[in-house]
Structure 1
Amino acid sequence: METARFVSLLAATITTGLVSGLFYGFSVSVMPGLRRTGDRTVIEVMQRINVAILNGWFLLGYLGALVFTGLALGLSVPSDGREALPQLIGAFVCYVLALGLTARVNIPLNNALEKAGPLDRIPDPAAVRSAFEQPWVRANVWRTVLCTVAFGLLAWALVLHGQGR
């Protein structure tokens, strides 16, 4: 049980860190870089990213963070690993909120961008960009913050786990 709790906590920390880093990268480089480009460039790049990101490696981190954090939390409740319970609960809540934000804001905006169609058939790229960019960036900043807090809490839980040995 102790090994399973540690492995799930370690996996939760790693996968949450990866997702946090992905969102952070968009916040500090991808979207600021695109902000300085034309409407058609933003649409084309984000349409391509939205297709490319749907792969097994992304899903391993994105869904793995939820599964592993939930598992670490579940394995800590009935055991002597309760010293990290507040951190695990906080991490789980933050990550679920980030998933909810992604599902309610980022994914629908990505879908709307895709529904705009091929770039050469979009009559008003400025309107498409305007409807997409700022709401997506704002939501991404919040999910970056939530995932970073979750990552920090999981790292704290790892420290507490190590002290409890």
Structure 2
Amino acid sequence: MNPHLNLVTILACGLMAGVFFTFSSFVMKALEKIPAAEGISAMQSINVCAVKSWFLPAFLGSGVLCLAVTATTVGKLDLPAARLMFAGAVIHFVGCFLVTMVFNVPLNNGLAAVSANAPASTETWSDYLSRWTMWNHVRTLSSFVATLLLVMGRA
């Protein structure tokens, strides 16, 4: 197990936990309180900015780092620290990275195709808010638990 790899992975997973926590705790609630057309436009803008910001390399990097931790610990699962590191890396990869790719990104792509002022947009927005936020809660919890396990494994 590489202590530098482990430390950077902890920081990356913790960073992702913070980003997702922000959306779960107040961003999505704030967007829900404004008119649907404004919420849709705001979220469409957030989604465009997210992939053009430091979020994307941080997000992708956390997934790659977790794969690297998994690879460096899989042969050492007889050690308690390695089991914790392995579990944390797998939880983050599945609960954050894969959930994002399988659920949140398709929802974002669907929202991108919506005209904010279309008659059916209010219903689309309500469904999006519910489903996207639920999957974001999964990402938040997964990233937090992963960070905790990674820290425990490094200690």
**TM-score of the aligned structures, taking structure 1 as reference length:** 0.84
Query: Contact between 1:8 and 1:69, CA under 8 Å: does it hold in 2?
Result: no
After superposition, residues 28-47 of structure 1 pair within 5 angstroms as: 28-47=25-44
Letter of the 1:49 counterpart:
I
Q: Report how far residue 154 of structure 1 moved.
A: 1.0
- Which residue matches 2:152? 156
Correspondence for 1:109:
107
**Structure 1 segments (4+ residues) deviating >6 Å:** none
Deviation at 1:55, TM superposition (A): 2.9
AA of the residue aligned to 2:151: A
Out of 39, 64, 68, which is 1:71 matched to? Answer: 68
The CA deviation string for residues 14-58 of structure 1, in whole angstroms up to 9 with x for no partner, is 111111110000001101111211101110110000000003521
Number of equivalenced pairs: 154
Aligned to 1:163: none
Unaligned runs of 5+ in 2: none
Q: State the match for 1:140 in structure 2.
A: 136
| Aligned CA-pair RMSD | 2.1
Structure 1 residue runs without a partner (length 5+): 160-165
After superposition, the C-alpha distances for 1:122-148 in whole angstroms (9 at most, x for unaligned) are 233212212311001111111111111
For residues 21 and 90 of structure 2, the distance between their equivalents in structure 1, rounded to whole angstroms, comes to: 19
| CA 93–72 in structure 1, closer or farther in 2 if over 3 Å, else same | closer
Cα contact 2:73–2:86 (8 A) shared by 1: no
Q: Distance in 1 between matches of 2:22 and 2:110?
A: 23
Conserved 8 A contact 2:47-2:108: yes
Any idea what the Cα deviations from partners look like across 1:106-165, whole Å, max 9, x if unmatched? Answer: 111100000114x34x23321221231100111111111111111111111221xxxxxx
Contact 2:85 2:150 in 1 (8 A): yes
Question: Take 1:146 and 1:69, find their aligned partners in 2: how far apart are those partners?
Answer: 13
TM-score (norm 2): 0.89
SS of aligned partner of 1:116: coil
Partner of 1:25: 22
The verdict on how the C-alpha distance between 1:20 and 1:83 changes in structure 2, with shifts beyond 3 A counting, is same
Query: Higher Cα Rg: structure 1 or 2?
Result: 1
